[in-house]
Amino acid sequence: MDDLFYFIISKYNYWAAIVLFFIGLYGMIVRNNLMKKIIGMVIFQTAILLFFVSIGVKRGATVPILKFSPDKQPLLDATAYANPLPHVLILTAIVVGVAVLGVALALLQKIQRVHGTIEEDEILEDMRK
Amino acid sequence: MTWDTSLLWQFDILILLMMVICAVTALALEGLLSSAIVTGVYSFLICLMWTHMMAVDVAFTEAAVGAAISTVIFLGTAQYINRWIKKDRPREQGIKQLTIVIGVICAVMMLTATRDLPDWADPASPASTHLSPGYIAQGYHETATPNVVTSVLADYRGYDTMFEAVVVFAAALVVMVVLRRTSHKHRKVLHLRPKREGRDTVLRGAAQSIIPVMQIFALYVLCHGHYSPGGGFQGGVIFGASFILLALCYNLKFSMNRFREHLVLWCCAGGVLLYAGIGAACLGLGKNFLGYAALADLLGVTGKMARSHGILAVEVGVGITVMAVMVSLYYDLASGGDLEDGL
């Protein structure tokens, strides 16, 4: 029982990332509405970011900002701080993510303007005319 | 195998469950406005998750970008599209059911593969033992910057960050090019947007008292990124959000009179140019591109402090670009490209 408990609490972050990943993929592939596809893309993206950041977590560690002792010496023990590298990658990825979202929404508005709809199959019909 | 209870796994599981529920709800709802709001809630939840995983800089960015700006541009877009989805047609269901089956098989395979991944929060995991301890151990001695994230972001991975800024800049241009002109014979515009006079006293009073504080806070976040969570991305987004708040509380014209569009574009390009210019200056002074230690003689400080100052300078560049890009995205998406009236 203890082993099972340990197994669950040592892997649940990956499970959540994978579940969110496939929810996002479902939204992007199966939903017919382009706005839903974009929301699916946002979820898909955050699932990957969640996976990245969660591999940088360390037990008993704090935020990656150096602590100083009273005599101004920094504490440079790597196990005392969370892994800063995934944070850097994800921080920039979030800002690029909103840029991608902006471009996607601009294309969405343009499609609505040209075809009068944002439903996938109606757009295809409109294009065949 | 003992488990350190300092990590609140109950809290994590609760937040992750709520995230999954929000994700499903956002995709299942039929109204697109409510979907957009649920996506905002999802961002707030993941922001809590970042904070709990000690990724405070990421949480800061997510709160400003994911929860605020994304939701606003979703709502801005919702003015110009059909707000209610139609039921999926049965015609194409066969191929989509096949996709679901393949997706479930892949999910099961990936879930099985997690057995081989390192345990969560294991300090001895491969990701935490090879490269990153070096940054923590040397970062302060080489760059005089206690926030390791900032020093890695702007110094060790300076190229990466510079091209991220370029990507964001390019996105603003693409949005403008896509939305600005549509030939009139093809135009099937849906006009749902309300006429806004901007005369709501409560909103105006709130905006007047919040916006100055917000802008000063943005500058603080930008300049204090060396010592606390924050930096160019976060400060820039908060500064941009202050102009968006102005537009939301008054109207788009009011905000555009204060921060005109050509100035926004100059800022977009200027920030990237400042970043690249500092890199080029280092190159001209005989070091590598973005090797800030070259600026030491120019600034009259040691090489270590020159790297710290270099980080601040490029963070200012990033901040200007990100601020202008967020404002530009809002102007274009909320007004449908005509810049007449907005959300």
Do B70 and B151 lie in a common domain? no
Q: Tell me if B55 is assigned to some domain.
A: yes
Do B192 and B301 lie in a common domain? yes
What's residue B1's pLDDT?
42
Q: How far apart are CA B53 and CA A49, in angstroms?
A: 12
Contacts of B127 in chain A (CB under 8 A): 55-56, 83, 85-86
What's residue B189's pLDDT?
59
What's residue B198's pLDDT?
63
Q: Which of residues 11-30 of A touch B (CB under 8 A)?
A: 11-16, 18-27, 29-30
Query: Which of B68, B84, B100 marks a domain boundary?
Result: B84
Residue among A11, A30, A53 whose CB faces B99 most closely: A30
Q: Tell me if B267 is assigned to some domain.
A: yes
Do B153 and B77 lie in a common domain? no
Q: Is A119 on the interface with B (CB under 8 A)?
A: yes
Residue among B39, B103, B135 whose CB faces A26 most closely: B103
> What is the helix (H) or strand (E) element at residue B305, kind and residue range?
helix B303-335
- Put simply, the answer to whether B55 touches A82 (Cβ < 8 Å) is yes
- Put simply, the answer to whether B23 touches A61 (Cβ < 8 Å) is no
C-alpha distances out from residue B103 to B113, B116, B341, Å: 15, 21, 43
CB pairs under 8 A between A and B: 315
Do B41 and B163 lie in a common domain? no
Q: Which residue of B has its CA nearest to A21?
A: B107
Q: Which residue of A has its CA nearest to B9?
A: A9
Contacts of A97 in chain B (CB under 8 A): 65-66
Question: Tokens 């009139």 label which residue?
Answer: B184
Name the region of B231 (left: φ>0; alpha: ψ -120 to 50; beta: rest): left
Q: Is B168 on the interface with A (CB under 8 A)?
A: yes
Q: Which 8-state DSSP code applies to residue B183?
A: -
Do B163 and B80 lie in a common domain? no
Do B339 and B190 lie in a common domain? yes
Domains in chain A, start-ordered, CATH in brackets? 2-128 (1.10.287.3510)
C-alpha distances out from residue B173 to A37, B166, B179, Å: 23, 11, 10
Q: Which of residues 97-116 of A touch B (CB under 8 A)?
A: 97-103, 105-110, 112-116
Query: Which of B69, B84, B99 marks a domain boundary?
Result: B84
Q: Tell me if B124 is assigned to some domain.
A: no
Q: What is the pLDDT along chain B (343 residues), one digit of tens a residue?
A: 445 555 678 888 999 999 999 999 999 998 899 999 999 999 999 999 999 888 999 999 999 998 899 999 999 898 888 888 776 565 667 777 888 899 999 999 999 999 888 888 888 888 888 888 999 988 888 988 999 999 999 999 999 999 999 999 999 999 999 988 765 555 555 566 666 666 688 888 999 999 999 999 999 999 999 999 988 999 999 999 999 999 988 888 888 999 999 999 999 999 999 999 999 999 999 888 888 988 888 888 888 999 999 999 999 999 999 999 999 999 999 988 888 777 7
Contacts of A37 in chain B (CB under 8 A): none
Tens of pLDDT, residue by residue over B57-101, are 999 999 999 889 999 999 989 888 888 877 656 566 777 788 889
- Put simply, the answer to whether B16 touches A79 (Cβ < 8 Å) is no
- Put simply, the answer to whether A13 touches B140 (Cβ < 8 Å) is no
Contacts of B168 in chain A (CB under 8 A): 95-96, 99
Q: How far apart are CA B301 and CA B282, in angstroms?
A: 15
Q: Which residue of B has its CA nearest to A77?
A: B137
- Put simply, the answer to whether B182 touches A114 (Cβ < 8 Å) is yes
Do B188 and B266 lie in a common domain? yes
Q: Tell me if B206 is assigned to some domain.
A: yes
Q: Tell me if B27 is assigned to some domain.
A: yes
Q: Which of residues 264-303 of B touch A (CB under 8 A)?
A: none
What's residue B270's pLDDT?
95
Q: Give ipTM to 2 decimals.
A: 0.94
Q: Is A75 on the interface with B (CB under 8 A)?
A: no
What's residue B184's pLDDT?
57
The parent domain of residue B59 ranges over 8-84
Q: Tell me if B137 is assigned to some domain.
A: no
Quote the crossing angle between the two packed helices B9-28 and A34-54, to the nearest 10°: 160
Do B75 and B203 lie in a common domain? no
Tens of pLDDT, residue by residue over A54-111, are 888 888 888 899 988 888 888 888 888 999 999 999 998 999 999 999 999 999 998 9
Q: Which residue of B has its CA nearest to A64?
A: B148
Q: Which residue of A has its CA nearest to B171?
A: A99
Contacts of B1 in chain A (CB under 8 A): 6
Q: Tell me if B72 is assigned to some domain.
A: yes
Query: Which of B67, B84, B101 marks a domain boundary?
Result: B84
Query: Which carries the bigger pLDDT value, residue A5 or residue B342?
Result: A5
Q: How far is B216 from chain A (nearest CA, A)?
A: 21
What's residue B187's pLDDT?
57
Do B315 and B174 lie in a common domain? yes
Nearest Cα residue to B134 out of B122, B152, B112: B152
Nearest Cα residue to B26 out of B45, B7, B51, B6: B45
Do B189 and B274 lie in a common domain? yes
For residue B72, the one-letter residue type is: V
Residue among A59, A97, A102 whose CB faces B73 most closely: A102
Q: Tell me if B285 is assigned to some domain.
A: yes
Q: How far apart are CA A72 and CA A110, in angstroms?
A: 57
Do B197 and B330 lie in a common domain? yes
Q: How far is A123 from chain B (nearest CA, A)?
A: 13
For chain B, what is the domain count?
2
- Put simply, the answer to whether A106 touches B125 (Cβ < 8 Å) is no
Do B79 and B168 lie in a common domain? no
Q: Is B105 on the interface with A (CB under 8 A)?
A: no
